[in-house]
Amino acid sequence: MGRPKEEHYWNQVTKGNAGTWKCKRCGREFSGGASRIKAHVDRIPGKGISACSASPHDNHPQPQETANPMEGAAEHEDHEMVDAFPGGLMQHPVNVNNTEHINYLPGGSAAVVQSNNVGFVSDEIKKLLELLHDLSLEENDIKGELDWLKSQGKQSKTQVDDWLNELQQLRNKVVDLVKGASHNFIQPLILQMSELKKEKPVVLSSEFVGKDFEKNVKKMWELVGDEKALMIGIHGMGGVGKTCLATYMETQIIRKGTFNRVIWVTVSREYSISKLQEDIAEAIGVKLGGNERIRVAHLSSALSEKGKWVLILDDVWKFIDLEKVGIPRCRINGSKLIITTRLKHVLRQMDCPTSNVIAMRPLSESEGLELFLARLGEYHKTPATFPPNILKIAGIIARECDGLPLAISVMARTMKGVDSIHQWRHALNKLEKGEMGGEMEEEVFQVLKPSYDNLMDTRLQNSFLHCALYFGFWNFDERIMNLVDNGTINNGRRSLEEIFDEGHTIFNELEDHSLLRRFWNIQNSVRNMACQRLIVRCGKELTGIPHVHEWSADLELVSLDTNRIKEIPAGISPKCPRLSTLILSNNCISSIPECFFTHMKSLAILDLSENGSLTSLPDSLSDLTRLVSLLLDKCYALEKVPPLERLQKLSRLIISYTKVEVVLGLEMLTNLRWLDLSYNEKLRLESGRVLRGLTNLQYLNLFYATLSNVEIEDVQGLTTLEYFVVGFDDCKSYNNFVTSICNTGSVPKSYLLYLGSIEDNDEIIESYDHIGPSGDHQRIVHLLDCKESPHLLSPHLLPNDLTNLYIDYNARWESLCEALSNITPSLDNIQIARCREMESVLCSFGNCSFCSNLNNLQSLQLYELDSLTVICKDDVAATDTTAQSLKPNAVFSQLRHLEIRDCDGIETLVTAGLLPQIQNLETLSVYRCNSLREIFAANSSGADSEDAASTIITLPNLTSLYLYDLPMLETVCKGIIISESFPDLETEDCPKLESRFPFKVSSS
């Protein structure tokens, strides 16, 4: 037989005669090979063998009585019979309705004894019994851990008892079924038991809180059990629970005994290779000596001799060269390396697969309160109880800790045993101001501060500090421009693309350092750590500004973002000569005293956005001559802005969503790079004068601003413009603009031009929301409700570099060909909606000036075209679609996505003449077209149906076909469609559609 391959497992048993073996731990005797030993010793469920019942650390035999005399026999008979009723697949004929031969074992399982009655258990019964066997093994494992928890003086979660009770109920149902209940109940039972198996509680102790912790432990066990996974990473901010998770896994791995050794080494920021080698050597009990090569070889050999091990490197701050340390990279006996770190890029540099990384996140608000009350309780066993008034404050304190377990635990320790409402209120007040000091300062801030200090680049530190001035982090473009305003990102003469690339790079680095979470609020404890000695109180529900004595002369930054401040008291004038940034956004301020800005001569950034009740600004704002950024976004009631001509350093100005009618002095702000005047329906700018002098503009947004019309001279000199949004009232002005600006070589990289009214138009709002100064450059034109008939006027011009065209509510247009003109080779998306007279869209082979160069079209959407009968008005009739050759200038030669909705006049969607052009089509979606009978025409109309049935057409790239609510649809195609793979076909409410599946996969 030779030397056993799994020597480790053979060492756990004593060999007997006739292929039997006895477990050295529990003393039970079985037969079989190494895989059976492994399943028994490692307690692997679903392998048809009982789990070892002895302690994982007990290597002495502990013989047990066989619960049923047939159990031992079953194990010895070549595994033909399963040792317990809920186990494996029963291969002996039994009669499950004869219950007198079923002996129930302790814990609710049962042994099946051979019967004289012959019958065969169905596959479903077998699956049911196998599931019950697996669940019984899981139950044994849980009960073993519960005993261990009890010995440690710890309590289990209530969910554990719920799971065990549910298992017992299901077990009872199985018993009832075996006694003769209807087999109709088998499948529901299987589903219930499968679901229960998935929901098995993994973390039993009540000391651990949160769904994420349970999920992370499950993922850890999957990775620990995966022989292909050598390295496992645990990543997250300081204090979030990385070490806690690693410690939990260490304890459980030791308890289960599935590894020979668990080695823990804390690395920390002062890491060196020699120190790490010494720490590992000390942990495994070996001494290192000699030169570097000898130390590496000695440590590597020592680790290999330890068998199957887990090495936990906690608190790693930089790349570790495992080979130079002596940690084997090859997979030795399924050994694992677990790394905890705050720095995501460290895991990348060490080649830890992304799928092997556990991302730790703060607790939810309810979980934070649960942990807080648990830590306040006695020995963390029973949650503390308080009267309602204190419980309310406790909830706010827990919320202030923002889900950070370290902060929650420290605050709980600080408040433990306190029952005075005064002390609770005082603690909350201190916490909200970031003035807790004491243990909070020592334990929380000192844990978080190394993450900030590790940002070696002062640019990154400044970036994080200014991100922390705002409650939320959702609008990336806005935050990047904040960094430009404060000088962290140098504008110079750089393009917006360069600026935004640098901004996103900075945010990625902050995320890698666990200091920033996109689409999330900045973590409160992190903000408080970074903003000590500043007035930064974001999201605190304040109703007033801080007392004037807090506005010290050396203050440089103040942020009161996202509160409920209603007024600034009359007469208040903080003496802050060094204050450079003041953020009062997202409040309810209705007025600002005239003297408020008097002593803020250094103010460079002023953000008053989203104060919906603010009606006017004080004239003293005109004296803030060092102002670089003035932000007045969504100040819905704002009617008056003081003259701005003295603000010569202003580079960013946002006045949007206001009632402002005039902005005096705007034409004097020649240093402006960013001007947003969108959503100002009452705003009037003097044509030909205001904009033409702003020659440094890179960003100009006039969306939904009621302007008479932008004239050519307004923007002709704006040669640095990179982002532009503007609308036109009449076709003449629009065409003049396209001719003079867009087609002369000085067109912005991204633009949105629209002609006509945009009132209640969702499509243009969506375009506006998606177009931005960063990312891919989109160039969009919307032609809306153009009342002029295309027969009477010259066709509408389009910019030469246009990428997206939207047509909407143009009632007199019968096709695009007659309404549009000029060359647009870059156009890749067309959407047409609610053009009630449109009978066709384009011409197939470019027979007009518009279609002749339309050879890059990739997406076409047609919505609510009541008169549409055909997509292309000059379709070539064809009887043999396979013979059609694709002309290089064919309009649809690059089309990949086609969608049509609510077009009730069309009967055949893709005609025979059009088929050869759409060889690149990938997705086709059709909705609510009431007359549609056929999707792909195999032959021209009137051709013989038998010929059509035998016709073969090719759509090699089609991957998705969606057909919804088509009452008259009879067929997808009468012929055969050849594609490279079967497309995803979804149909709904197509009552007449034939059942024949027309697709075949190409043999090539």
Last residue of a domain, one of 359, 376, 392: 359
Residues 6 or more apart whose Cβ sits within 8 Å of residue 487: none
CA distance 814 to 875: 16
Q: 550 or 48: which carries more pLDDT confidence?
A: 550
For residue 336, how far is the Cα from the chain centroid? 28
Q: List pLDDT tens digits, range 214-225.
A: 999 999 999 999
Same domain, 32 and 171: yes
Parallel, antiparallel, or unpaired for β 535-536 and 261-266?
Answer: unpaired
SS3 label, residue 15: strand
Q: List pLDDT tens digits, range 54-105.
A: 655 444 444 333 333 323 333 333 333 233 333 333 333 333 333 333 333 3
Same domain, 53 and 168: yes
Where residue 314 sits, what CATH number does that domain have?
3.40.50.300
Q: What is the pLDDT of residue 816?
A: 86
Residue 936, pLDDT above cutoff 80 = yes
Residues 6 or more apart whose Cβ sits within 8 Å of residue 683: 660, 661, 662, 663, 677, 705, 706, 707
Residue 563, pLDDT above cutoff 90 = yes
Asked if residue 642 belongs to a domain, the reply is: no
Q: Longest C-alpha distance within the chain, in Å?
A: 105
Asked if residue 484 belongs to a domain, the reply is: yes
Same domain, 26 and 105: yes
Asked if residue 612 belongs to a domain, the reply is: no
Which 8-state DSSP code applies to residue 395? Answer: H
Same domain, 126 and 238: no
Asked if residue 898 belongs to a domain, the reply is: yes
Q: List pLDDT tens digits, range 344-362.
A: 999 999 999 999 999 999 9
DSSP string, 256-273: HT-SSEEEEEE--TT--H
CB 132 within 8 A of CB 108: no
Task: List strands edge to edge, sheet with 231-235.
Answer: 261-266, 309-316, 336-341, 231-235, 357-359
CA distance 673 to 496: 10
Q: Tokens 């032609």 belong to which residue?
A: 783
Where residue 406 sits, what CATH number does that domain have?
1.10.8
Q: What is the pLDDT of residue 855?
A: 82
CB 815 within 8 A of CB 822: no
Q: What is the pLDDT of residue 66?
A: 34
Last residue of a domain, one of 495, 524, 553: 524
Give the C-alpha distances (Å, rounded to integers) separating 154 from 151, 207, 373.
8, 8, 16
CA distance 206 to 381: 7
Domain span including residue 474? 456-524
Same domain, 910 and 945: yes
Same domain, 107 and 150: yes
Q: 912 or 57: which carries more pLDDT confidence?
A: 912
The answer to which of 399-403, 511-515, 791-795 has the lowest mean pLDDT is 791-795
Same domain, 352 and 374: no
Asked if residue 715 belongs to a domain, the reply is: no
Residue 653, pLDDT above cutoff 90 = yes
Q: What is the pLDDT of residue 119?
A: 38
CA distance 916 to 320: 58
Asked if residue 909 belongs to a domain, the reply is: yes
991 C-beta neighbours (distance < 10 Å), count = 8
Q: What is the pLDDT of residue 181?
A: 56
CA distance 899 to 928: 11
CB 718 within 8 A of CB 744: no
For residue 599, how far is the Cα from the chain centroid? 45
Query: For residue 608, which of 628, 579, 588 has the smallest C-alpha distance?
Result: 588
Q: Which amino acid is at 858?
A: Q
CA distance 189 to 122: 14
Residue 709, pLDDT above cutoff 70 = no
CA distance 185 to 860: 51
Query: For residue 709, which of 739, 747, 735 has the smallest C-alpha distance?
Result: 735
Conformation bin of residue 276: beta by default, left when phi > 0, alpha when psi is -120 to 50: alpha
Same domain, 174 and 264: no
Q: What is the pLDDT of residue 200?
A: 92
Same domain, 239 and 386: no
Residue 970, pLDDT above cutoff 80 = yes
Q: List pLDDT tens digits, range 153-197.
A: 888 999 999 999 999 999 988 888 777 656 677 888 899 999 999
Residue 116, pLDDT above cutoff 80 = no
275: tokens are 């120190």
CA distance 998 to 1004: 18
Task: List strands edge to edge, sheet with 29-31.
Answer: 13-15, 20-23, 29-31
CB 72 within 8 A of CB 66: yes
For residue 585, how far is the Cα from the chain centroid? 27
CA distance 561 to 589: 12
Which band of pLDDT confidence, cut at 50, 70 and 90, is reported for residue 446? confident
Q: 624 or 475: which carries more pLDDT confidence?
A: 624
Asked if residue 797 belongs to a domain, the reply is: no
Parallel, antiparallel, or unpaired for β 309-316 and 336-341?
Answer: parallel
Helices (H), 98-209: 123-151, 158-178, 186-198
Give the rounded percent of residues in the chain with a pLDDT score beyond 90. Answer: 56
Provide the terminal-to-terminal Cα distance of the chain, rounded to the nearest Å.
Answer: 48
- In the chain, % helix, strand, coil (3-state, to 5) comes to 30, 15, 50
Q: Which amino acid is at 241?
A: G
Q: What is the pLDDT of residue 432?
A: 82
Residues 6 or more apart whose Cβ sits within 8 Å of residue 553: 575, 576, 577, 578
Asked if residue 682 belongs to a domain, the reply is: no
The answer to which of 108-122, 427-441, 853-867 has the lowest mean pLDDT is 108-122
SS3 label, residue 702: coil
Q: What is the pLDDT of residue 705?
A: 83
SS3 label, residue 494: coil
Which band of pLDDT confidence, cut at 50, 70 and 90, is reported for residue 111? very low
CB 462 within 8 A of CB 557: no
Same domain, 466 and 332: no
Select, from the ranges 302-311, 591-600, 932-941, the one with the highest average predicted confidence (pLDDT). 591-600
Q: What is the pLDDT of residue 530?
A: 79
Same domain, 35 and 165: yes
For residue 22, how far is the Cα from the chain centroid? 51
Give the C-alpha distances (Å, rounded to integers) separating 700 from 654, 676, 697, 950.
10, 6, 7, 59
Query: For residue 884, which of 907, 865, 911, 863 has the smallest C-alpha distance?
Result: 911
Q: What is the pLDDT of residue 435?
A: 77
Q: What is the chain's mean pLDDT, rounded?
A: 84
Please give the tally of structural domains in the chain. Answer: 5
Q: Tell me what the mean pLDDT of segment 407-417 comes to.
A: 93
Same domain, 82 and 219: no
Burial class (CB in 10 A: 0-12, 13-18, 19+), 385: exposed
Q: Tokens 């990348």 belong to which residue?
A: 348
Q: List pLDDT tens digits, range 228-285.
A: 999 999 999 999 999 999 999 999 999 988 899 999 999 988 889 999 999 999 999 9
The answer to which of 66-70, 471-475, 600-604, 673-677 has the lowest mean pLDDT is 66-70
